[in-house]
Structure 1
Amino acid sequence: MAHVKDFKQLEYLSGFGNEFKSEDPRCPNALPVGQNSPQKCPYGLYAEQLSGSAFTVPRKDNKRSWLYRIRPSVQHKPFEPLQIPKFTNRFSDFAPNPNQLRWNPFPLPDDSTLVDFVEGLHTVCGGGDIVARNGIAIHNYSCNVSMHDRCLYNADGDFLIVPQQGALKITTEFGRILVEPQEIVVIPQGIRFSVAVDGPSRGYILEVYGVHFQLPDLGPIGANGLANPRDFLTPVAWFEDRDGVTFRVVSKYQGAFFEAIQDHSPFDVVAWHGNYTPFKYDLRRFMVINTVSFDHCDPSIFTVLTAPSTRPGVAIADFVIFPPRWGVAENTFRPPYYHRNCMSEYMGLIVGTYEAKEGGFRPGGASLHSMMTPHGPDAACFEKASNDELRPQRVADGTMSFMFESSLSMVVTDWANRENVDFNYFKDWMPLKKHFRNTP
């Protein structure tokens, strides 16, 4: 996007879920005073409300923002179908696969092929029902060019985007966001955005529909810890007034893509106020909670964001990270224990190595351990951790891995079952030895 000159010179508003107001300094006093939709808005702007929740939900759950823009978003030609071959939200057509799965780093586009963010979307797995609005999908993206005069909005749900290689320069209706590896960005349902890159870029996407991401409750932890609200950043207002262009608006609706043409930029919001906004977070700001006595804690202590279900304590999806930290547990096998789980666990690696699997699990790759599929550290990790001197030690320095965890049963797409797969993954556990002795 050549019109975006310098994403380094950005301003942000701080605090998760806060009511904010922002206006581009080029148009002071663009926000109406005392009401949301006056008969005539300042500067001849249009008022438009963007609602992320039902009108009648409790006040604490209401999500909406008012946008004051040069033209309302309704002004475009009819949508026409657009094919993105390896993207889907419909998983009923794929056969189940209970195996432990691991993927090699997702390939970057060939230099001879120009692929933008939309064209580079690739679905790995998912569950639930997109039309009934209850479920998730997990995607990769891989691109090497910017979206030029093109934007995307997801009518189905929220995107949580995890860059692994290459920064993303994201222009939204609310302003501009620079998102680098070891940061994440959430683009809530319906918000239009465009992605610019400076070269080959790839990463991971967690999509949830029917619910929004929120901070997990802290319970006995108290008032502080994990991801702190003040560290979440949303952009300040920024607009462009561009006419006479062929701008393509891509809509993802019921898992299918459509494209409409309009003759002006959709990023024409001069001012806005509300609590329904895109936001980013630096994973390195996470305050780790861990044991200081014995045993390995459940990974829920590393939850950054959650998308809760209607069942208390059960998530449609959790976003969990495993950042650098100290390990001090006494008389304990410190890596993750072997386990089977009523949740589905998709892991990705942003940088470094994951402590329980230092071999085939590489940055840009991933693994999936489906519901009740057994998993745990590989044989080499088990032997080492079983015999290590148990002194305080740093864990995961220079590393950042993460997990998308869901209460839904994951279905893997046909292409993800055959492409880029590490078919030798099961061999990580085959060397495990029998240590049993029939004596105390």
Structure 2
Amino acid sequence: MSKNDLDYMPGFGNDFETEALPGALPQGQNSPQKCAYGLYAEQLSGSPFTAPRGTNERSWLYRIRPSVRHTKRFKPFQLPLWKTAPQKLDAELPIGQLRWDPVPIPEEKTDFLHGVKTITTAGDVYTQVGMASHVYAFNASMEDDHFFNADAELLLVPEVGSLHIFTEMGKFDVAPGEIVVIPRGMVFKVSVEGPSRGYMCENYGAKFTLPDRGPIGANCLANPRDFKTPVAAFEQKDTPCRVIVKWCGNFYETEIPHSPLDVVAWHGNYTPYKYDLATYSPVGSILFDHPDPSIFTVLTAPSGEEGTANIDFVIFPPRWLVAEHTFRPPWYHRNIMSEFMGLIQGQYDAKEEGFVPGGMSLHNMMLPHGPDSGGFYKASNADLKPQKLDNTMAFMFETRFPQLLTDYAAKLETQQDNYIDCWEDLKSHFDGTPEGKWD
């Protein structure tokens, strides 16, 4: 039995239920004196017990062994290139607009955890605000290793290679063009069939949810029905395994004599989910002017200030451009938000050269940015017929906090030292006449 489609986003009070064996899920109560199949009942809470009904998140797991059972004390585990805010500012690179080519995929055997490299951090993990932007590049599966993040929920954005993710709640296959969100504290492992690369947002703050649509109304943007939760699946493996934990920026490991992915049934609303970005229904200008990029928000993690996000996850998908007498690409701007941007496929319309799939850019708060000179002149002189932007998918991890660069990112060989040259040919067209001097 399973309910695999989200009628509402997690955290809105809806309950899902799924079982891998018939009758494994209790009916009418959560913790019977003896569970079917000799299972243990365990609750995983993603919110305080007394949170309002609409934001109260918990799931009941019915598993072969409780997660408290492990054979050795936790000991430190080293992942030196996965950083956490607040971090010491050891990067010597001055502030500025930054862009990188794709990070190389390692040739040596590397699993997901060792393939994560932090580019920026923001906020403070101890007070549960802010985020970190990472890239990942790896080529090997986690066989007997498992991981959970006590600091944050994780948003993964594949760019090369599909991810096979086995969580306590079930399995996902996540291809480029899809995303997956794994809640804080949930155990999982990642398998691959070859080289894989992508991006990851680590959200220390309030959980991701759908943005309010406001005047847009009941439809468009990301629709709840397109978010998918997993069907229960379990691994009955009685051989030594390892659990690795991230907790307050540090990593620890412990050994257990069995697989921790042994949940036979579950019900609740604290669950991982995936989403196909191709199902996003964009809205835009149908007469004039380029709207704010916030109209492309897929998910938002709110802060304590209404309308100011801890994180917005924004995409720039295929879409029609039809605005009249309008500069259609994004305009030049300075912004209170800090923008980490990546490209999953194709070309980004505001950057004619240099921004390629797997690449990334960083435009921190109040630092000016916008179309390169080639994009500006092309858009300024284009015949404004309806135009379809196709074969493109860019995204932003956007936050209210400054995104501080890691030493790894500052010294990364793929950094484009000449990035700011892309605006060098933007010259003055002012000559005192309304028409200006265009040549």
C-alpha distance in structure 2 between counterparts of 1:300 and 1:21, whole Å: 34
Task: Say whether 1:400 aligns with 2:393.
Answer: yes
TM-score, L = length of structure 2: 0.95
Matches of 1:371 and 1:155 in 2, distance apart? 28
Alpha carbons 2:205, 2:301 under 8 Å: kept: no
Q: Measure the CA separation in 2 of the matches of 1:372 and 1:304.
A: 23
Query: For 1:164 and 1:258, how far apart are their aligned partners in 2?
Result: 29
2: CA distance, partners of 1:74 / 1:142: 32
- Contact 1:91/1:411 (<8 A) preserved: no
Please give the residue correspondences for 1:350-389 in structure 2 after superposition, counting only pairs within 5 Å: 350-389=344-383
State the AA in 2 paired with 1:439.
T
Q: Which residue of 2 aligns with 1:208?
A: 203
Amino acid in the other structure paired with 1:21:
E
2:142 to 109, 123, 147: 147
RMSD: 1.2
Q: Which residue identity does 2:121 align to in structure 1?
A: G
Partner of 1:413: 406
Question: Aligned letter for 1:412?
Answer: L
1:114 partner amino acid: K
Q: 1:97·1:411 contact (CA, 8 Å) conserved in 2?
A: no
Equivalenced residues, count: 425
Per mean C-alpha deviation after superposition, the further-off stretch among 357-366 and 227-236 is 357-366
SS at 2:356 equivalent: coil
Q: Quick one: distance in 1 between partners of 2:408 and 2:83?
A: 11
Does the residue aligned with 1:281 lie in a helix, a strand or coil?
Answer: strand
Cα distance, 1:33 vs. partner?
1.4
Q: Which runs of 4+ in 1 moved over 6 A?
A: none
CA distance in 2, matches of 1:379, 1:307: 34
The alignment status of 1:62 with 2:80, answered yes or no, reads: no
Q: CA deviation at 1:358?
A: 2.4
Q: CA deviation at 1:359?
A: 1.0
- Mapped to 2, the partners of 1:390 and 1:240 lie a distance apart of 57
Work out whether residues 109 and 115 of structure 1, in 8 Å CA contact, stay in contact via their aligned partners in 2. Answer: yes
* Offset from partner CA, 1:379-417 (integer Å, 9 cap, x none): 01101100001111112x111110111101110001101
Work out whether 1:21 is the aligned partner of 2:17.
yes
2:223 maps to 1:231: no
Q: 2 CA distance for matches of 1:313 and 1:101? A: 27
Post-superposition Cα deviations, 1:237-279, rounded to whole Å, max 9, x if no partner, equal: 0112111x12010101111111111010111000000000000
Partner secondary structure for residue 278 of structure 2: helix
Instruction: Return the offset for 1:14.
Output: 3.4
Return the TM-score normalized by structure 1: 0.95
Of 99, 104, 128, the match for 1:102: 99
Residue pairs, 1:266-345, within 5 angstroms: 266-345=260-339
Q: Distance in 1 between matches of 2:202 and 2:175?
A: 19
**What residue number does 1:84 align with?**
79
Displacement of 1:19: 1.1
1:106 deviation in Å? 1.4
Identical amino acids, percent of aligned pairs:
57
Aligned partner letter, 1:206: C
Find the counterpart in structure 1 of residue 342 from structure 2.
348
CA contact (8 A) 1:13 1:236 kept: no
Q: Output the CA distance in 2 between the equivalents of 1:288 and 1:198.
A: 33
1:92 shift after superposition: 3.5
Find the counterpart in structure 2 of residue 126 from structure 1. 121
- Secondary structure at the aligned position of 2:240 is classed as strand
List gaps (5 residues or longer) in structure 2: 435-439
Query: How many Å separate the matches in 1 of 2:431 and 2:271?
Result: 59
Q: 1:58-104, CA deviations, whole angstroms, 9 ceiling, x for partnerless residues?
A: 11000100000000001112111111121110343115742000011
Which structure 2 residues correspond to residues 125-204 of structure 1 after superposition, within 5 A? 125-204=120-199
String of CA shifts for 1:11-48, please: whole Å, max 9, x gaps: 94333223100000xx2111111111111111110000
CA displacement 1:342-368 (0-9 Å, x = unmatched): 000111000111111121111111000
Equivalence for 2:437:
none
- Work out whether residues 157 and 211 of structure 1, in 8 Å CA contact, stay in contact via their aligned partners in 2: no
Unaligned runs of 5+ in 1: 1-9
Q: Provide, for residues 221-245 of structure 1, a one-character-per-residue CA deviation record: whole Å limited to 9, x for no partner.
A: 00011000000001110112111x1
From the superposition, tell whether residues 318 and 121 of structure 1 become closer, same or farther in structure 2 (CA, over 3 Å). same
Q: How do 1:112-123 residues align onto structure 2 when only pairs under 5 Å count? A: 113-123=108-118
SS at match of 2:164: strand
1:274–1:11 Cα change, 3 Å: closer
Alignment of 1:14-53 (within 5 A): 14-15=6-7, 16-17=9-10, 18-24=14-20, 27-53=21-47
Q: Answer whether contact 1:163 1:180 (CA < 8 A) is retained.
A: yes
Secondary structure at the counterpart of residue 291 of structure 1: coil
Cα deviation 1:272-291 (Å, max 9, x = unaligned): 00000000000000001000
Please report how far the alpha carbon of residue 418 of structure 1 lies from its aligned counterpart in structure 2 after TM superposition.
Answer: 1.4
Q: Please tell me whether the aligned partners of residues 250 and 259 of structure 1 are also in contact (alpha carbons under 8 angstroms).
A: yes
